[in-house]
C-alpha cells in the first residue's frame, strides 16, 4: 500500500514519524450541532463528525488539540502544509508510533471525508447536566428486591467479567468451572469493568458514557441499574475505604469522562447521579486554559476515602476526598501532561501513572499527596494497571510495557526498603516489538506476562511473552497464541495460578494458561464471544491485585 503513495507523502511520514494511537472506537449517537462548512455538505459533516468521534477523538481529543496522538487542529495542519492527500496518507497507513492503518478498516471515501473534515475547525459537542443524567437513570432492580445473600453456590469472587466490545455486552464466566454464567446487555462499546469494594457488583463503563451495574449475587447475575453520565468515557471505579472516617464499602462509584470533561459521583447501590465536577482547568506548566482536560485512569484508595484521577491534558493528578460530597476536597497534584493509565504499587501507598507522550511514569505519594518522582521508561509507556512483584536483586519493583518499542521497563518501587533502586529503571526486558498495552502478574504467580496488541505484524500482535520473576536475567518466553485477531489483556484467576488472555476478533476466544508451566489449559470459544477485550477477575479487581 505504501508503494502506491507519492514520494512527497512518504517523505512527510518518514520525517515526522507521527506517533499516534487511534483505537477502533465505535461510539454512536453523539448529538453534535450541524454546522455549515464550505467543503462539506451538511450530510457529509454529520457523517464526518461521527467518524472522527468514533475513531479518532480518543487519542487526538474531540477538539483535536492532541493527547496520546498529536495536535491535528485545522490550524496545525495548515501550519505543516498538510493537504488532503497527505492527511489521507497518514490515515490510510498509520504511523510507526502506534496509529493504526485505518486503510484496513475505513473505505477510501470515508478517509477522504475525514481528511477534508480535519481541515475545518472542530465543531463543539454538547454538554451534559446532572439533570440530564438523572433523566437517563434506570433503577432496574431496587436494593430491597435484591438477594440478601448469594442465590447460587458459585465462587463469585473468582468470576471473570469479559468485555464483548462490539456486541455491547459483558459475559460473566465462572473462573472455577469455566462455565458461562450470563451474557449481560450493557450497551455500546464497553471499555472496562471494575467491581464494588465487596466484589458483589460489577460496574461497567461504555465509551458512550453509559455506566451499568451487575449484581453477582443474583441466581443469574444481571443488570440492576444503568445511567448515562456523558458522551464519551473510559473509566469507572468504586469507593473502597472502611475506617475511622466512615464505611464507604459499596457506597459510591465514580465515572471519569472524556466529553464533557468531568467526573460524576454515583450512588454505589443504585447508580443515581449525585454530583458532577468539571475537570476543565489550566495546564500545570504553562497555565493555559484547557477546555478539554479529560479524565483518564481512576484508582480507588484503600487507606483513605479517596479517588485518584488523571486529568490528562492538564497534567494534574487529583486526589478527591469523597467523605463529604457537599464540601468536596480535591488536592491537585502537579505531575506531567497527557496522563493516561496506571495503578498502585504493592503497598498501595504510591500512585504510578503513565504520561505516555512524555515517555514517563510519574509517581505520587498518596500520603503526602505530592509528586515524588518521574521516571523515563521508554517510548510511550502503557501499563494498564501495571504489575508489582519482588525482584531477587532489586526488591519490590513495578513495570510497564510500551506502545512505541518492545520493552518492559522494570523500576524499583520500595523507597523505604530499597531507596537506592526506588524510581529507577533497574531492568529492561525485551519483548517481540512495540504495541504493548498490558502487563500483569499476581503475588502468587511465578511469571509476569505482557501482550503486543497494537503491533502491526500479524504474528507479533497475536503473541504474548512471559518472564520468570525469580530468573529475570533469562530471556522471556514468547509465543504466538492465536492465528486470527489481536491478542489483548491479561488477567489472573483469584489464586494466581492461571492467566487468561483474549483474542480480540469477531469470533473471539479466551485462552487460559497455567502460569507455572506456561501451557494452555483451556480455550473458550462460543458464538457469544464476540470481540472480547478486557477481562476482569472479581477478587483481583476489588483488591487491586496486579
Active site residue 340: yes
Residue range at the interface with ligand DHE (CB under 6 A); choices 108-116, 295-303, 389-397, 507-515: 295-303
Dihedral of the alpha carbons of 270, 274, 280, 282, in degrees to the nearest 10? -120
Question: Which C-beta is closer to ligand DHE: that of 426 or that of 454?
Answer: 454
DSSP class of residue 268 equals: T
Task: Give the side-chain half-sphere CA count within 13 A for 209.
Answer: 27
Residues 6 or more apart in contact with residue 471 via CB below 8 angstroms: none
Strands of 366-497, DSSP E: 370-376, 387-391, 395-400, 407-412, 425-430, 439-440, 447-450, 463-468, 477-480, 486-492
- What values do phi and psi take at 501, rounded to 5? -125, 155
Residue range at the interface with ligand DHE (CB under 6 A); choices 88-96, 294-302, 392-400, 455-463: 294-302
Q: How many residues bind ligand DHE (CB under 6 A)?
A: 25
Active-site pick, 262, 340, 452, 489: 340
Question: Which C-beta is closer to ligand DHE: that of 432 or that of 501?
Answer: 501
Contact characters 354-393, ligand DHE, x per CB under 6 A: ------------------------------xx--------
Polymer length in residues for the chain? 546
Residue 164, beta-bridge partner list: 169, 532
Find out whether the peptide bond into 260 is cis, omega within 30 degrees of 0: yes
Question: Which C-beta is closer to ligand DHE: that of 12 or that of 301?
Answer: 301
Active site residue 60: yes
Active site residue 230: no
CB of 371 to ligand DHE, least distance (A): 19
Residue 234 found at the interface with ligand DHE (CB under 6 A)? yes
| Pairwise CA distance, residues 407 & 467, whole Å | 12
Residues in 387-426 that interact with ligand DHE by CB under 6 A: none
Residue number with the smallest Cβ distance to ligand DHE: 58
Q: For residue 252, how far is the Cα from the chain centroid?
A: 21
Q: What is the three-state SS of 150-180? A: CCCCCCHHHEEEEEEHHHCEEEEEECCCCCE
Question: Which C-beta is closer to ligand DHE: that of 200 or that of 234?
Answer: 234
Question: Which C-beta is closer to ligand DHE: that of 26 or that of 141?
Answer: 26
Residue 68 found at the interface with ligand DHE (CB under 6 A)? yes
Residue range at the interface with ligand DHE (CB under 6 A); choices 21-29, 175-183, 270-278, 423-431: 21-29
- In a 3-state reduction of DSSP, which class is residue 298? strand
Residue 502 found at the interface with ligand DHE (CB under 6 A)? no
Residues 6 or more apart in contact with residue 198 via CB below 8 angstroms: 249, 250, 542
Residue range at the interface with ligand DHE (CB under 6 A); choices 100-108, 214-222, 292-300, 366-374: 292-300
Contact characters 470-489, ligand DHE, x per CB under 6 A: ------------------xx
Active site residue 152: no
Which residues contact ligand DHE (rule: CB under 6 A)?
Answer: 21, 23, 25, 58-59, 68, 165, 191-192, 234-235, 296-298, 340-341, 384-385, 437-438, 453, 488-489, 533-534
Amino acid at each position: 500500500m505504501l508503494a502506491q503513495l507519492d514520494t512527497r507523502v512518504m517523505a512527510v511520514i518518514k520525517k515526522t514519524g507521527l506517533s499516534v494511537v487511534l483505537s477502533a472506537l465505535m461510539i454512536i449517537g453523539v448529538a453534535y450541532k450541524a454546522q455549515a462548512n464550505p467543503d462539506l455538505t451538511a450530510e457529509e459533516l454529520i457523517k464526518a463528525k461521527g467518524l472522527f468521534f468514533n475513531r479518532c477523538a480518543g487519542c487526538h481529543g474531540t477538539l483535536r488539540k492532541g493527547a496520546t496522538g498529536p495536535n491535528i487542529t485545522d490550524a496545525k495542519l495548515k501550519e505543516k502544509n498538510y493537504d488532503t492527500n497527505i492527511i489521507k496518507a497518514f490515515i490510510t497507513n498509520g504511523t510507526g508510533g502506534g496509529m493504526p492503518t485505518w486503510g484496513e478498516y475505513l473505505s477510501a471515501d470515508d478517509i477522504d471525508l475525514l481528511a477534508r473534515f480535519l481541515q475545518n475547525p472542530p465543531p463543539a459537542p454538547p454538554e451534559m447536566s446532572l439533570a440530564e443524567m438523572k433523566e437517563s437513570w434506570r433503577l432496574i432492580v431496587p436494593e430491597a428486591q435484591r438477594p440478601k445473600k448469594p442465590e447460587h453456590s458459585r465462587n463469585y469472587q473468582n468470576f471473570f467479567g469479559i468485555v464483548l466490545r462490539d456486541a455491547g455486552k459483558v459475559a460473566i464466566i465462572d473462573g472455577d468451572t469455566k462455565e458461562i454464567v450470563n451474557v449481560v446487555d450493557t450497551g455500546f462499546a464497553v471499555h472496562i469493568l471494575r467491581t464494588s469494594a465487596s466484589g458483589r457488583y460489577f460496574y461497567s463503563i461504555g465509551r458512550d458514557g453509559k455506566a451499568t451495574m451487575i449484581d453477582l449475587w443474583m441466581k443469574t447475575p444481571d443488570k440492576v441499574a444503568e445511567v448515562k453520565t456523558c458522551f464519551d468515557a473510559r473509566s469507572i471505579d468504586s469507593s473502597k475505604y472502611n475506617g475511622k472516617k466512615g464505611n464507604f464499602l459499596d457506597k459510591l462509584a465514580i465515572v471519569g469522562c472524556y466529553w464533557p470533561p468531568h467526573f460524576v459521583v454515583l450512588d454505589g447501590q443504585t447508580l443515581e447521579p449525585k454530583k458532577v465536577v468539571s475537570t476543565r482547568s489550566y495546564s500545570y506548566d504553562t497555565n493555559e486554559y484547557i477546555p478539554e482536560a479529560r479524565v483518564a485512569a481512576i484508582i480507588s484508595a484503600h487507606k483513605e476515602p479517596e479517588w485518584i484521577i488523571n486529568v490528562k491534558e492538564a497534567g494534574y493528578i487529583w486526589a478527591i476526598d469523597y467523605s463529604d460530597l457537599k464540601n468536596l476536597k480535591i488536592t491537585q497534584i502537579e505531575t506531567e501532561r497527557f496522563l493516561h493509565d496506571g495503578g498502585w504499587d504493592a503497598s498501595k501507598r504510591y500512585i504510578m501513572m503513565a504520561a505516555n507522550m512524555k515517555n514517563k511514569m510519574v509517581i505520587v505519594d498518596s500520603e503526602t499527596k505530592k509528586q515524588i518522582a518521574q521516571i523515563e521508561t521508554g517510548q510511550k509507556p502503557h501499563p494498564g494497571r501495571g504489575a508489582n512483584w519482588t525482584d531477587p536483586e532489586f526488591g519490590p519493583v513495578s513495570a510497564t510495557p510500551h506502545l512505541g518499542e518492545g520493552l518492559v521497563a522494570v523500576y524499583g518501587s520500595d523507597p523505604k526498603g530499597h531507596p537506592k533502586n526506588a524510581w529507577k529503571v533497574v531492568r529492561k526486558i525485551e519483548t517481540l516489538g512495540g504495541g504493548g498495552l498490558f502487563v500483569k502478574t499476581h503475588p502468587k504467580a511465578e511469571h509476569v506476562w505482557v501482550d503486543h496488541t497494537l503491533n502491526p505484524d500479524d504474528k507479533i500482535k497475536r503473541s504474548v511473552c512471559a518472564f520468570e520473576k525469580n530468573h529475570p536475567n533469562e530471556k522471556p518466553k514468547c509465543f504466538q497464541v492465536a492465528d486470527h485477531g489481536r491478542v489483548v489483556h491479561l488477567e489472573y484467576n483469584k489464586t494466581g495460578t492461571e492467566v487468561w488472555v483474549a483474542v480480540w476478533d469477531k469470533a473471539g476466544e479466551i485462552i487460559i494458561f497455567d502460569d507455572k508451566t506456561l501451557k494452555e489449559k483451556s480455550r473458550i470459544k462460543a458464538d457469544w464471544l464476540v470481540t472480547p477485550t478486557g477481562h476482569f477477575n472479581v477478587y483481583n479487581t476489588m483488591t487491586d491485585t496486579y
